[in-house]
Structure 1
Amino acid sequence: MQISDLPYTDPGVPDARSGPRFLWWLGRNQLAGQLKSLGWGLLHFTSVMALPYGVGLAVQAVVERSGARLALAGALLALSGVAIALGDTMLHRTAVTNWITAAARVQQLLARKTAGLGAALTRRVAAGEVVAVSTGDVEKIGWFVEAVSRFTAAFVTVVVVCVGLVVYQPQLGVVVLIGVPLVALGVLPLLPRATRLADVQREKAGRATELASDTVAGLRVLRGIGGEELFLDRYRTASQEVRRAAVRSARMWSLISAVQVLLPGLLLIVVLWHGLGLVRDGRIAVGELVTVYSAVMLLSYPLHHFEEIAMAYSFSRPSAKRAARVLSLERSTAATEETTAAEETTAADEGGTPAGGDLYDPVTGLLAPEGRLTAVVCGDPDAAGRLAERLGGHPALDEPVASVRLGDTALDELPLAAARATVLVQDKDPVLLSGTLRELLDVPASGLVAAQDALAAAECDDVLDALAQASVDDDPMAAPITERGRSLSGGQRQRLALARSLVTDPEVLVLDEPTSAVDSHTEARIADGLRGLRRGRTTVVLTSSPLLLDRAERVVFVHDGEVAAVGVHRELVHTQARYRAVVTRETDEEQAAQAAQAAQAAEAERAAHQGAGRGRTRIEIEETA
């Protein structure tokens, strides 16, 4: 896999049972790239370790005044230099490729999982954690995946050099063979604490990122209630905790680095002291001592990769754990087998989209007749949000509920792409992506609803005027919209999101409080525009607005998780006290007072009937007498 071939056609199905298993799965799926990196790494490291032999051969040739051996040593050094340059260049190339492709695979997996879960994702995982996984964590995971091949090449090189020194000069080679494992393993007692400190740092950094993300998302609300300073103080505290944790972790890794320098230095001193004694006794040649000394000195280069792999694993393990946690989430227990994007497309092409019919939720008993505008009133806003997701075929994760049906088809049995092409859910807080208004409305659609008609139905005239002023050529469709539409008011964002949903023109449109941020006059016009534009199409609006409810062809009141009443707004508001309490926002005292008045009126009416009955009885007696 090359960088130019990204993105992957299919990133695969990850082993998300744990962080280490996920890392192992990533490594196995990049086996070709790992082998390439290993090969170039072996060339690079062995060429570096060939330099001491060439230097020792040259020194010995000078001592013995041998021109031929000196020329041979020069040729060996030149060949080693070329091999080092080639190996280092290609090793860097393949390592970066492995890093980027591993990170890209993780990002594709996360994007696919996010698209599959939809709004249900944030009910299980904080938005800040998702941001941390998809940004910093993917880099650390990619770092470890690519470092494995370099570490393997360094490990093989160290073993070969140690064995070679034993063969070349046994008296010094044995010292090196004993000392190098002690040098390589000398930092092991420090690694557990370093790993724990790195985990603490990553955990605190994730919390700070989550707090920052939530603060930015709710900045407008915070300004409204004067809570900026409170959240700013919280973020300052969180950032200081991250700084202190990073300093503690850096101190430990600095100690490990110092040990990695100290131990090879001690080994070098031992080899040099022992070797000088052997040279003085005439048991080895000067060139042999220079060769062994240079080899031990250069061994610190491949040994450095032992420290790097430990650091990479320490930082990538918690990142992989978080990524595995997100990737292990499923849509629902009723649809645990996740189909790939290719399978979904194939299923949709083969007729996976249902023919239509009434939308029915067996959990609440809600029925939305085909081609009609149905309004749903829920006393609990959270329950309304869950109902909206369920109507779209995306029940809450691990929610053991029966599937919503469209006609004779269960939505959970459809491929995800087919279900979303049929039923579109606009949640309570829709997101506007950055770009122009034209790009915002450039969504998969039936083509039957023009953008201008959708904007008119959503009452976006004032929004278009404001965007036209911000456009260089007075074209509102070319005006830029900032990330999440932060330059717009809440009502303007809500109306643009509604226009985007209307342009899509799905067979079933589910809207969760689509006008909660607009004024009543605008809301009334939106209700008329929505009913007119969606005539003949199934539309479900979850709302408690009397204006929207009055325009609905059918109103369903859901109480305690099941349908409590069905009718039209003007009928239900007079006959259903609980419905009236939700729609008119009556307090408990007002409900009690109305109940008391109703009871008094009923009692008075009953007394009147009883009085009239006694009067008629008396008249009958008198007439009889």
Structure 2
Amino acid sequence: MPPTHHDFAWGIMHIRDLPHPDPGVPDVRTGGAFLLWLCGQQLGGQFKALAWGLVNVGGIAASPVPVGLAVQAVVDRDAGRLVLAGGLVLALGALIALGGMMLHRAAVTNWITAVARMQQLLARKTTELGSAMTRRVAAGEIVAVSTGDLEKIGWFVEALSRFAASAVAAAGVSVALVLYRPELGVLVAVGVPVMALAVLPLLPRATRRADAQREKAGQATELASDTVAGLRVLRGIGGEELFLGRYRSASQEVREAAVRSARMWSLISAVQVLLPGLLLIAVVWYGTRLALDGTIAVGDLVTVYGAVTFLLFPLRHFEEIAQAYSFARPSAKRTARVLAQSRPADDRAPGRAPTPTGDLHDPASGLTAPAGRLTAVVCGDPDSAGRLAERLGGHPPQHEEGGDDGPGPVSVVLGGTPLDDLPRDTARTAVLVQDKDPMLLSGTLGELLDVPASGRVDATAALAAAQCGDVLTALAQASADDSGDPMRTHITERGRSLSGGQRQRLALARSLVTDPEVLVLDEPTSAVDAHTEARIADGLRELRTGRTTVVLTSSPLLLDRAERVVLLQEGKAVAEATHRELLHTHPAYRAIVTRATDPEPAMSAGHRTEETA
């Protein structure tokens, strides 16, 4: 039966209902506010788990009654009451089993649905921010949030219903004992709150130690993530041992912090064993005196003893919820910080609109890329090139997005229409930016090239233009099913099984398959040799005929194939002509392209570049 609107309104979900139709808009002001919002999204699930928890814990709490009844029946030699007591034990046993099974099912469902909601929120935020996400939040922190932090928050959500059921049952047993046997009930009613609150002075220190452990664990995770991402570079410079030593030191700090945290939690556990033990001794001692005096019956003493023994059970859940919250609070704070990242407020709404055509103009730099032509841009500063690529794609870098100093830069204009005025989906379809380090997701080559596209360029043509022939041969030889079909060969995460040049060419082929109205390429051939680069330049110009293409590069081979070249200095367009004209007329351009600083050698090098180009 499909879920109804009422089910979703109260947060009652089943595993089969995932993913959530809408994960909602989280309250990310603080970690506590985020936890409160998350629990509020599944009130129905929490109440369901609470109800089954009361069945389970209530059955356990009521078990001393038939036991006491049975003991008194034996003392009084009453067979009828003994049979009744046995029947009650069986009935309570069935209730305990049913309640425990359903409580576990409901609580785990709450855990899974809460984690799924947070995963959807993180995926949505990552999609919204794109590459800006890793510039604002460290990659290691994102990994820590999407793995360990979500599990810790899920643990708190799952433990909440068990704690609530235990708290209600403990209060109910205390009140029942006061009414049943005031002589002993008052002692229990006073002792239970003392036991529950005795660990409160220890919790702040335990929480601080747990926070320190998680902080060091996050730093170690970030270090490991960065090391793995730069493993090829580390091997090239012989830095593996250096970073291995750093990670070894970081892991030892995590171990020491974990031991210090465990000592504190062990102390809390010891206190919660000691105090109930002392209460139990006091109840048995006082109850035995009352039984010897004839004030209470032996069966009543057994019942009270069983009830006090039961109270040890809820106290374990008190410790669990305290520990779960101490772990979940900083995790929720980190998760809320990631989810709080946003782009500047704009008037763009989701959806699609007709894709504009025409010249691409960046008011910040003065760059204009004519429609349907291949324009190359030379920047003396690589960082300036990266910022320009981001702006052309409608994603200004973080420090350009406005703030205390005023609004951000004027939007890039495509065909007279500012990109900020277009629905985001349309803007992303119109302009595609391939950065210096494009990402290759794990999967087959066919899946890599299965991207939203215009249909004008097929995979074969794109691979040929990107000069991927040797890549296809290597993938065909590595085919897992011996089919020899490179399209079915699996590519590892981030393309680590490929060389830098192979990854770069496959990423270029993927961009060419997409065939956007405007394609922006940031140093697309920096990792390939000169002969391959020349063929790529020819293929790129041929395949992108009639489409607007902007290439940020200082390669003479690419510059010579461009229809026009623009020189940027200090973020501003200062010269515009063909590559050969700029080599003859602009010393700064000549120095950048030929990598020369002396004017005369630069000039002669320019002639040599012209001749070889």
Provide TM-score, normalisation by structure 1.
Answer: 0.91
Which deviates more from structure 2 when the two are superposed, residues 353-362 or residues 223-232?
353-362
Contact residue 354 and residue 409 of structure 1 kept, 8 A: no
Decide which of 419, 432, 439 is 1:424's aligned counterpart. Answer: 432
Looking at structure 1, the residues matched to 601 and 377 of structure 2 have their Cα atoms a distance apart, in angstroms, of 27
* Corresponding position of 1:132: 144
Contact residue 354 and residue 406 of structure 1 kept, 8 A: no
* Corresponding position of 1:197: 209
Query: 1:370-409 to 2 correspondence within 5 Å?
Result: 370-397=371-398, 398-399=401-402, 400-409=408-417
* Corresponding position of 1:70: 82
Contact residue 353 and residue 419 of structure 1 kept, 8 A: no
- 2:567 corresponds to 1:557: yes
Looking at structure 1, the residues matched to 39 and 68 of structure 2 have their Cα atoms a distance apart, in angstroms, of 40
What is the CA distance between 1:123 and its match in structure 2? 1.1
Looking at structure 1, the residues matched to 234 and 467 of structure 2 have their Cα atoms a distance apart, in angstroms, of 28
Query: 1:148-547 to 2 correspondence within 5 Å?
Result: 148-331=160-343, 333-335=344-346, 344=350, 347-348=351-352, 352-397=353-398, 398-399=401-402, 400-471=408-479, 472-547=482-557
What is the CA distance between 1:354 and its match in structure 2? 3.0
Looking at structure 2, the residues matched to 416 and 259 of structure 1 have their Cα atoms a distance apart, in angstroms, of 57
Over the residues paired in the alignment, what is the CA RMSD in angstroms?
Answer: 1.5
Q: Give the total of aligned pairs.
A: 582
Contact residue 159 and residue 324 of structure 2 kept, 8 A: yes
Contact residue 116 and residue 416 of structure 1 kept, 8 A: no
| Displacement over 3 Å in runs of 4+ | 591-595
What is the SS of the residue equivalent to 2:130?
helix
Query: 1:110-149 to 2 correspondence within 5 Å?
Result: 110-149=122-161
Contact residue 376 and residue 542 of structure 1 kept, 8 A: yes
Cα offsets for 1:369-394 (capped at 9, x unmatched): 11111111111112211211121111
Uncovered stretches (5+) of structure 2, i.e. residues with no partner = 1-12, 403-407, 604-613
Looking at structure 2, the residues matched to 2 and 243 of structure 1 have their Cα atoms a distance apart, in angstroms, of 38
Matching residue's letter, 2:229: A
Contact residue 594 and residue 602 of structure 2 kept, 8 A: no
What is the SS of the residue equivalent to 1:494?
helix
Contact residue 268 and residue 297 of structure 1 kept, 8 A: yes
Looking at structure 2, the residues matched to 76 and 593 of structure 1 have their Cα atoms a distance apart, in angstroms, of 102
- 2:594 corresponds to 1:584: yes
Matching residue's letter, 1:478: R
What is the SS of the residue equivalent to 1:506?
coil
* Corresponding position of 2:582: 572
Looking at structure 1, the residues matched to 421 and 54 of structure 2 have their Cα atoms a distance apart, in angstroms, of 52
What is the SS of the residue equivalent to 2:483?
coil
Looking at structure 1, the residues matched to 14 and 104 of structure 2 have their Cα atoms a distance apart, in angstroms, of 14
Looking at structure 1, the residues matched to 345 and 232 of structure 2 have their Cα atoms a distance apart, in angstroms, of 39
Looking at structure 2, the residues matched to 316 and 163 of structure 1 have their Cα atoms a distance apart, in angstroms, of 32
Looking at structure 2, the residues matched to 526 and 14 of structure 1 have their Cα atoms a distance apart, in angstroms, of 47
Distance 1:338 1:22, change over 3 A: farther
Cα offsets for 1:512-544 (capped at 9, x unmatched): 111000011100110110111111111111111
Matching residue's letter, 1:463: V
What is the CA distance between 1:580 and its match in structure 2? 1.8
* Corresponding position of 1:30: 42
* Corresponding position of 1:613: none
Looking at structure 1, the residues matched to 185 and 474 of structure 2 have their Cα atoms a distance apart, in angstroms, of 80
Looking at structure 2, the residues matched to 480 and 126 of structure 1 have their Cα atoms a distance apart, in angstroms, of 28
Contact residue 348 and residue 421 of structure 2 kept, 8 A: no
* Corresponding position of 1:97: 109
Cα offsets for 1:227-274 (capped at 9, x unmatched): 111111111111111111111111111111111111111110111111
Matching residue's letter, 1:501: S
Contact residue 369 and residue 550 of structure 2 kept, 8 A: yes
What is the SS of the residue equivalent to 1:539?
strand
Cα offsets for 1:278-337 (capped at 9, x unmatched): 111111111111111111111111111111111111111111111111110112x243x8
Cα offsets for 1:410-451 (capped at 9, x unmatched): 222333322212211111101111111111111111111110
What is the CA distance between 1:353 and its match in structure 2? 4.0
Contact residue 60 and residue 287 of structure 1 kept, 8 A: yes
What is the SS of the residue equivalent to 1:299?
helix
Percent of paired sites with the same residue: 71
Cα offsets for 1:452-473 (capped at 9, x unmatched): 1000000000111111111111
Matching residue's letter, 1:56: G
- 2:137 corresponds to 1:109: no
Cα offsets for 1:111-169 (capped at 9, x unmatched): 11111111111111111111111111111111112221221111111111110111111
Uncovered stretches (5+) of structure 1, i.e. residues with no partner = 596-625
Looking at structure 2, the residues matched to 180 and 555 of structure 1 have their Cα atoms a distance apart, in angstroms, of 80
Contact residue 56 and residue 95 of structure 2 kept, 8 A: yes
Contact residue 172 and residue 271 of structure 1 kept, 8 A: yes
Matching residue's letter, 1:225: I
What is the SS of the residue equivalent to 2:452?
coil
Provide TM-score, normalisation by structure 2.
Answer: 0.93
Which deviates more from structure 2 when the two are superposed, residues 44-53 or residues 476-485?
476-485
* Corresponding position of 1:56: 68
Matching residue's letter, 1:174: V
What is the CA distance between 1:593 and its match in structure 2? 8.2
Cα offsets for 1:187-213 (capped at 9, x unmatched): 111110110011111111111111111
What is the CA distance between 1:88 and its match in structure 2? 0.4
Distance 1:414 1:273, change over 3 A: farther
What is the SS of the residue equivalent to 1:456?
helix
Distance 1:568 1:67, change over 3 A: same
Cα offsets for 1:570-620 (capped at 9, x unmatched): 111222222222222223xx259879xxxxxxxxxxxxxxxxxxxxxxxxx
Matching residue's letter, 1:368: A
Looking at structure 1, the residues matched to 562 and 144 of structure 2 have their Cα atoms a distance apart, in angstroms, of 43
Distance 1:2 1:460, change over 3 A: same
Looking at structure 1, the residues matched to 110 and 135 of structure 2 have their Cα atoms a distance apart, in angstroms, of 34
Looking at structure 1, the residues matched to 587 and 166 of structure 2 have their Cα atoms a distance apart, in angstroms, of 77
